[in-house]
Amino acid sequence: VYEDYPTNPINPYGASKLMAERVILDAAKAYGINYSIFRYFNVGGAHEKYQIGQKGEGVTALIPIILQTAKGEREELSIYGNDYPTKDGTGIRDYIHVVDLVRAHISALPSLEKNISGIYNLGNGNGFSVLEMLNSGREVTGKDIKFKFVDRRPGDPASVVASSQKAKEILGWKAEYTDVSRIIASAWNWYKKL
């Protein structure tokens, strides 16, 4: 997915993201402000030095759910759909480490000072299926994470992977955490200390 890919959300979550972008673009036009809009792909991981990670009630992100199941806080992982036109039938997504996101925000500051505005995808450019994520979670944690297949969620596409080439060219940024096992391991190392 490139930044100029048609924006036609198929679910309320996507529509809310696009609405926020439109507000920023309108404000920039009306008030002459600069902006960097980041389109985050699936954020995961935790800081490897500081005790900062993702946890909370109602978290729906895959990596925390895998880790909750590994830690015994959930009985099993529900995998939404196993009949997608993908290599193993499960949805494919792009995962990005939270530290890479922080680095992207910092890398945008010089462009804003030079009156350069833009919309940027932030992903690592690699797609991983839900089953690949599950298997990586099992390897990282050493746990037999139970799962079940359930019906697809309405509005979920089969595969979404980012092209972050524009961020690389304009901001000088690229993801450093491209191995999903490293993303999961950083989250697990943080999570198991809770």
What pLDDT score was predicted for residue 5? 92
DSSP string over 49-115: SSS-----TT---HHHHHHHHHTTSSS-EEEE-S-SSSSSSS-EEEEEEHHHHHHHHHHHHHHHHTT
- What residue segments make up the domains of the chain, in order of their start? 12-191
Q: Which residues of 162-191 are buried (b: 16+ CB within 10 A; e: fewer)?
A: bebebbeeebebbbebbebbbbbbbbbebb
Among residues 2, 5, 13, 80, the one annotated as catalytic is 13
How far apart are alpha carbons 37 and 39 in whole angstroms?
7
Reported as a single tens digit per residue, the pLDDT across 2-21 is: 999 999 887 888 899 999 99
Say what the pLDDT of residue 155 is. Answer: 82
Please give the pLDDT value at position 10.
Answer: 79
Give the pLDDT confidence score for residue 54 in this predicted structure: 80
> Is the CB of residue 93 less than 8 Å from the CB of residue 161?
yes
pTM of the model: 0.92
Residue 138 to residues 48, 61, 108, 145, 187, Cα–Cα distance (Å): 20, 17, 36, 6, 13
Tell me what pLDDT residue 52 has: 84
| Burial class, 50, CB count within 10 angstroms (exposed 0-12 / middle 13-18 / buried 19+) | exposed
Amino acid symbol at 68: Q
Residue numbers in the chain where pLDDT is lower than 50: none
- Three-state DSSP at 135 gives helix
- CATH topology for 12-191 is UDP-galactose 4-epimerase; domain 1 (3.90.25)
pLDDT value for 194: 83
13 is catalytic: yes
Helix crossing, 62-70 with 180-191: angle to 10°? 50
